[in-house]
Amino acid sequence: MKKKATILALCTSLVLTFALAGCSTNGGQNEAAKATGAAGAKEATGKKAKISYLDPLPSPERTALMQGLLKQFQEKNPNIEVEYTSVPWDDANKKWMTMGAAGILPDVLSIDDTSLVAMASAGYIENLQPFYDKWDQLNNLTEATKQARNKFKGNVYAIPDGFLLQGLFIRSDWFKELNMPETIATWDDYFNLAQKFTDSAKNRYGISFRGGANGVIRAMEYVMAAVHSDSWFDKDGKSILYKPEGAAAFKKFYDVYLNGNAPKESVNWGFNEMVQGFLNGQTAILNQTPEVIITAQKNMKEGTWNVVPMPKADDGKRYIFWGYTAAYAMSSKSQNKEASWKLIEFLSSPENNLAYSIKNSTIPIYKENLKDPFFSKGPIAGYAGSMADSNIVFAGPPSHLTKLGQFTGTFAVEETQKYLTKAQSLEDTVKHLADFLTKEQQAYMKENP
């Protein structure tokens, strides 16, 4: 995901000018006036609370959706006025941190899961745990929602809007050719099918393998499942690749390529190439996120493909990573926190979450919403199926490490490609990767006891 920068304290006037310069607003209203509204001051009459909302993902479709929801909220709550502001996604993190440092964050804002810890630790966003504990929808949330990365020091700081996660795109027509059920229940099934679907004479291979940047994330996904770990590290900060079962899982994952169950050129494949390999009929199985659904619908015949949930480990659990991009948080400086929570509660209601999720092709936060026909049928059902599973374990990459991008994008690529091209042994490859990760994690633990 995205790297986060630490924002130093600036002169109040300079920060205020910079923070307000880029926020877009509805109807061209004055930005300074909106910033004043961000403090949540009530009108002189004391009867109408003014709060503001900041959207980091503006687009014609989304802006219309969010403004429509805000209008509905105000109709139901005539004593609360909500001002809509937005900031382009590429500028969002910088804007959040700058406005937070200046104490002028809007009352309610949507943030992503990689920004939450920095904003919570800096005191910019409110601890929502007291509101969360009394929320009447708490027991209706999916297990995945309860495990989401929306917490800091054990307390909830944001309510997820919806989720994105990995799923397995499959060539349904290939399954039918072999008279096999269209499912990949376990990781053992995954590896067995990789072999069954490979026919190099026909230029057919089992897996759309990612040997390029970030491919190691998919490998570690399986290693965590094999080791039954929700982390890349043990409690002492040592890489799970040091474990014999971790190294064995690493070998098994990369054997897919070494055994010829992936195209030879996939040693260099990134996102675009692995997707194209699936679309053009070269590979049977593709591990990807929901945005590829639209691409597949445009380029493949109906009935030739589908999406199934990620496989389970041998302990019956799904070890997968899921995240959000626009969870609802509250400014710690808001002067109308009850009204702000009321807005978060409204935006997060079952009916609004369902409409929002359908519009954005994200996975809902409620168990009942997953039963809606939109999520129970077709390709999206593969993702919903994973999130509906109560036996799910959040197992994601260590996004807190500042050198994670260097590791997944460069270092691990070089090391694994040496191994895949037989220029380096398995033992050396695993050791180099584990040493890098352990050094970074233990340094982090020392600095953040």
- Quick: pLDDT tens for 297-346: 999 999 999 999 999 999 999 999 988 879 999 999 999 999 999 999 99
Q: Is residue 257 part of a domain?
A: yes
Per-residue confidence band for 3, with pLDDT thresholds at 50, 70 and 90: very low
pLDDT in tens, 6-64: 333 333 333 333 333 344 444 333 333 333 333 344 443 457 999 999 999 998 989 99
Give the whole-angstrom CA distance, residue 423 versus residue 418. 5
Answering whether pTM is above 0.85, one says: no
pLDDT in tens, 204-217: 999 999 999 999 99
310 in the same domain as 432: yes
CB 314 within 8 A of CB 248: no
158 in the same domain as 30: yes
293 in the same domain as 188: yes
Q: Is residue 384 part of a domain?
A: no
Whole domain around residue 352: which residue ranges? Answer: 12-164+324-366
Q: Is residue 60 part of a domain?
A: yes
Give the whole-angstrom CA distance, residue 113 versus residue 1. 9
Number of structural domains in the chain: 2
406 in the same domain as 259: yes
65 in the same domain as 90: yes
Q: Is residue 251 part of a domain?
A: yes
Q: What pairs with residue 81 in β-bridges?
A: 50
CA nearest neighbour of 293 among 174, 186, 168: 168
Q: Is residue 379 part of a domain?
A: no
Of 322 and 261, the one with more pLDDT: 261
178 in the same domain as 74: no
Largest CA distance in the chain: 79
351 in the same domain as 225: no
276 in the same domain as 310: yes
pLDDT in tens, 118-150: 899 899 999 999 999 999 999 999 999 998 989
CATH number of the domain encompassing residue 37: 3.40.190.10
pLDDT in tens, 287-300: 999 889 989 999 99
Average pLDDT over residues 365-373: 95
Q: Residues near 406 by Cβ (< 8 Å), separated by ≥ 6?
A: none
Residue 291 confidence (pLDDT): 83
pLDDT in tens, 229-254: 999 999 999 999 999 999 999 999 99
66 in the same domain as 140: yes
250 in the same domain as 189: yes
Q: Enter the tokens of residue 225.
A: 């499942």
